[in-house]
Amino acid sequence: MIKEFLEIGQIVSTHGIKGEVRLNPWCDSPEFVKKFKTLYRDEKGNNSSKIVSCRPHGNVAVLKIEGVDTVEDAQKLRNTILYMKRSDINLPEGKWFVSELIGCSVLDYDDNNICYGKIKDIESYTANDVWYIETPDGKEVLIPAIKDVVIKCDPKEFMYISTKPIHPSQRIIPDKPNHIKLKVQENYELYQWLLFYGDKIEVVSPQSVRNKFRSVLQRMVSKYNDK
């Protein structure tokens, strides 16, 4: 369910002597909080606060709120939950806030008539997010949320790879000649496979895999730069 006001974090302490407060962000990072000029002190948006300044400080965001000018004023806000207005931010296509995914049905990719359950919770880990799914019979199932890795192959290599899949999740992309997609984690095994095929393939997306693979290749090339 899409809510107009979403929790962005909680004020945990004061900072300095000029009325600044420390916000423990419940979003991706303290940097995200900098996008907002106004935050709210209730989930209905009735009590707005103008953000004079915001800066990351380790794992927290240090806020200067208009009208809060002393340590005593700041202390009164301790444990206050701040909310952001959903319409104040434009997420990239395909991106959603976690709270908007809770309660959504999880359907089979190939057959939308098959429902595995509903999203109960989401945990973020280094490799990927993990969805906690409550099945129709009340059981809990964990599903890793993994992005498709899209790869463009040389025509001859494509013929070989299409008949000998490198992973059970491999699928041919019908509207893109010589393209395949994989549902795999970004780990050592993936980059090992990419190196095996060398210049006969190109990672199209996601950008994180392109960037990582480019970095790997640059380090390899640097080892062969004869002085």
CA 125, 117, 181: angle at the middle one, nearest 5? 55
Contact between 80 and 41 under an 8 Å Cβ cutoff? The reply is yes
Residue 227 above 80 pLDDT?
A: no
Q: What is the DSSP letter of 210?
A: H
Strand, coil or helix: 159: helix
The Cα–Cα gap between 63 and 84 comes to 14
Of 112-121, 170-179, 183-192, 197-206, the one with minimum mean pLDDT is 183-192
Structure confidence by residue, pLDDT tens digits, 106-148: 888 778 889 999 999 888 776 678 889 999 999 999 888 777 8
Confidence of residue 1 (pLDDT cuts 50, 70, 90): low
Q: How far is CA 140 from CA 76, 132, 137, 178, 190, in A?
A: 41, 7, 9, 38, 29
Confidence of residue 185 (pLDDT cuts 50, 70, 90): confident
Residue 2 above 80 pLDDT?
A: no
* Res 223: pLDDT: 86
* Res 211: pLDDT: 87
Give this prediction's pTM.
0.60
Structure confidence by residue, pLDDT tens digits, 57-69: 999 999 999 999 9
Q: Cis ω on the peptide bond leading into residue 168 (within 30° of 0)?
A: no
186's enclosing H/E stretch is none
Instruction: Map out the domains of the chain as residue ranges.
Output: 5-88, 102-145, 148-222
Q: How far is CA 52 from CA 29, 39, 48, 65, 191, in A?
A: 19, 11, 13, 6, 45
Amino acid letter for position 155: P
The Cα–Cα gap between 34 and 88 comes to 12
**Complete edge-to-edge strand list for the sheet that includes strand 115-124:** 105-107, 115-124, 129-134, 140-145
**Complete edge-to-edge strand list for the sheet that includes strand 148-153:** 171-172, 179-183, 148-153, 201-205
Question: Domain 5-88 has what CATH class?
Answer: mainly beta
Structure confidence by residue, pLDDT tens digits, 74-87: 999 999 999 999 88
Strand, coil or helix: 156: helix
Query: Crossing angle of helices 207-222/188-197, nearest 10°?
Result: 60
Contact between 12 and 60 under an 8 Å Cβ cutoff? The reply is yes
Helix spans in 94-206 (H): 98-101, 155-163, 188-197
Contact between 134 and 124 under an 8 Å Cβ cutoff? The reply is no
Higher pLDDT, 110 or 154: 154
Structure confidence by residue, pLDDT tens digits, 3-54: 889 999 999 999 999 999 999 998 878 999 999 999 999 999 999 999 999 9
